[in-house]
């Protein structure tokens, strides 16, 4: 079999890239190792930057987002029992974020791909990339016990942090940057009305808490917990009691509790690999970078990479611009590192660190008072939260 682009992975990165390329008349095949049900079963954040929403509209799945997505014009921070509104729209000249679960983004992209008839191989085994430094790379995989081979012009490694693509780049060529954060997030999903109409990022002496939502009837909450904690140490009642202790009394009083639909503990990691390309292999999304969820950047940075790769491949096929191919990594990494910076900044601003010195704590307190108490501070938080502009590919 032959195609123009083979995409490894049918998560948000792979599906979004596949849809944009298909809509641009660039044939592509997605190779996914799991089943569609498994891919849809992953619970992930869904705070979409305005640029991400625009890209999803370009992919043709804007209708349900526009109908069901919740546009948030602001976000709240909470520290020292003070609630600080960050007026995103006012501070950024009109930009907002949209609350729309990643699972729904994935579902919509899957449906769009099925409608357009582009090929996706689910349940693929032993996926291997070959000859990525040549001008005819190929991918081999197993389907129903048979070894299959697809020749292509380019491979997009959209296979997440534990995928095969990044490992295809020789270790001597890869430069990896990582920080493991000394705590985790205990998350709970419940069919209860959100405690607040906007998200609340709360610093508390007992630890960070986040009040988020999936809809007007489905809430998502997080608590900072030590890495040693296990989820079965946290029955629902204990979770709700601890969340109430980290909120002001008026919010705690109106918190609607209920049975958890999902509850899990996630570690926090910052990670980037450079370069994000190797010959005709391009890494996209979690295959190349991971952020702590504090800045809600995971899905948005994946969309950022897709934006650049889609535009570069369109310029190559439609205008013969082969010169842009070698610039993908630079375009993508500029925005990735700014997303990493903001995610680390938000994590440091709002979490307590057990190894902090008294001076460190004073610095954190001053940071909160400055960034959340000045126009300049609020503006920098707002413009990063709604998403920095994409660089024009030219």
Binding residues for ligand APR restricted to 17-56, rule: CB under 6 A: 31-34, 39, 44
Site string for ligand PHB, 44-73 (x = CB under 6 A): -x-x--------------------------
Choose from ligand PHB, ligand APR, none: what does 296 bind? Cβ within 5-8 Å by kind.
ligand PHB
Q: State the minimum distance, in angstroms, from the CB of residue 293 to ligand PHB.
A: 4
Choose from ligand PHB, ligand APR, none: what does 372 bind? Cβ within 5-8 Å by kind.
none
Site string for ligand APR, 68-107 (x = CB under 6 A): ----------------------------------x-----
Nearest residue (CB) to ligand PHB, 10 versus 296: 296
Nearest residue (CB) to ligand APR, 29 versus 299: 299
Q: Are 34 and 88 in contact (CB under 8 A)?
A: no
In sign, the C-alpha dihedral spanning 248, 253, 254, 260 is positive
Strand ranges of the sheet holding 97-99, from the earlier edge strand across to the other edge: 47-49, 97-99, 70-72
Q: State the minimum distance, in angstroms, from the CB of residue 336 to ligand APR.
A: 12
Q: Are 20 and 58 in contact (CB under 8 A)?
A: yes
For residue 208, what are the contacts with CB-CB under 8 A and spacing of at least 6?
A: 201, 202, 222, 223, 224, 246, 294, 350, 351, 352
Within a 13 Å sphere around the CA of 327, how many CA atoms are in the beta-carbon half?
Answer: 16
Binding residues for ligand APR restricted to 148-187, rule: CB under 6 A: 158-160, 163-164
Choose from ligand APR, ligand PHB, none: what does 120 bind? Cβ within 5-8 Å by kind.
none
Which of 5, 6, 7, 14 is close enough to bind ligand APR by CB under 6 A?
14
Q: State the minimum distance, in angstroms, from the CB of residue 74 to ligand PHB.
A: 14
Residue 64: cis peptide before it, omega within 30 degrees of 0: no
CA angle (213, 87, 191) in 5-degree steps: 10
Tally of residues, the chain: 394
First to last CA, the chain: 33
Q: Which of 201, 221, 316, 328 is catalytic?
A: 201
Choose from ligand APR, ligand PHB, none: what does 286 bind? Cβ within 5-8 Å by kind.
ligand APR
Nearest C-alpha neighbor of 205 from the set 97, 353, 376, 64: 353
Nearest residue (CB) to ligand PHB, 165 versus 212: 212
Choose from ligand PHB, ligand APR, none: what does 159 bind? Cβ within 5-8 Å by kind.
ligand APR
306 counts as binding ligand APR under rule CB under 6 A: no
Q: What is the DSSP letter of 392?
A: P
Which of 18, 157, 298, 339 is close enough to bind ligand APR by CB under 6 A?
298
E strand or H helix at 267:
strand 260-274
Nearest C-alpha neighbor of 26 from the set 131, 165, 154: 154
Applying CB under 6 A, the residues found at the interface with ligand APR are 8-14, 31-34, 39, 44, 102, 124, 127, 158-160, 163-164, 285-286, 298-299, 302
């Amino acid at each position: 079999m032959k195609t123009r682009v083979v995409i490894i992975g049918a998560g948000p990165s792979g599906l979004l890239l596949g849809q944009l390329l298909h809509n641009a008349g660039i044939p592509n095949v997605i190779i996914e190792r799991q089943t569609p049900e498994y891919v849809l079963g992953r619970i992930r954040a869904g705070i979409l930057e305005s640029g991400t929403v625009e890209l999803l509209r370009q992919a043709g799945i804007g209708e349900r987002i526009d109908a069901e997505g919740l546009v948030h014009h602001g976000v709240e921070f909470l520290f020292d029992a003070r609630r600080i509104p960050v007026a995103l729209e006012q501070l950024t000249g009109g930009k907002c974020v949209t609350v729309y679960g990643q699972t729904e983004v994935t579902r919509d992209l899957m449906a769009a791909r099925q409608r357009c008839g582009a090929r996706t191989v689910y349940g693929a085994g032993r996926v291997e990339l070959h000859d990525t430094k040549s001008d005819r790379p190929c991918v081999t995989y197993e389907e129903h016990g048979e070894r299959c081979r697809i020749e292509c012009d380019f491979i997009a490694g959209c296979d997440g942090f534990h995928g095969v693509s990044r490992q295809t780049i020789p270790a001597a060529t890869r430069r990896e940057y990582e920080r493991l954060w000394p705590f985790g997030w205990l998350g709970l999903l419940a069919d209860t009305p959100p405690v607040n109409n906007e998200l609340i990022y709360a610093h508390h002496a007992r630890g960070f808490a986040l009040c988020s939502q999936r809809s007007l009837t489905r809430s998502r909450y997080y608590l900072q917990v030590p890495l040693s904690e296990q989820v079965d140490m946290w029955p629902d009642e204990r979770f709700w009691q601890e969340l109430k202790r980290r909120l002001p009394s008026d919010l705690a009083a109106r918190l609607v509790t209920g049975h958890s639909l999902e509850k899990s503990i996630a570690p926090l990691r910052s990670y980037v690999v450079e370069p994000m390309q190797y010959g005709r292999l391009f890494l996209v999304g979690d295959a190349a970078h991971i952020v702590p969820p504090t800045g809600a950047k995971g899905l948005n940075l994946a969309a950022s990479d897709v934006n650049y790769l889609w535009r570069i491949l369109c310029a190559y096929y439609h205008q013969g611009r082969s010169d842009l191919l070698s610039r993908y990594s630079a375009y993508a990494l500029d925005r990735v590192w700014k997303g990493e910076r903001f995610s680390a900044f938000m994590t440091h601003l709002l979490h307590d660190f057990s190894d902090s010195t008294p001076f460190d704590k004073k610095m954190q307190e001053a940071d909160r008072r400055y960034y959340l108490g000045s126009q300049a501070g609020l503006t920098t938080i707002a413009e990063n939260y709604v998403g920095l502009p994409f660089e024009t590919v030219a």
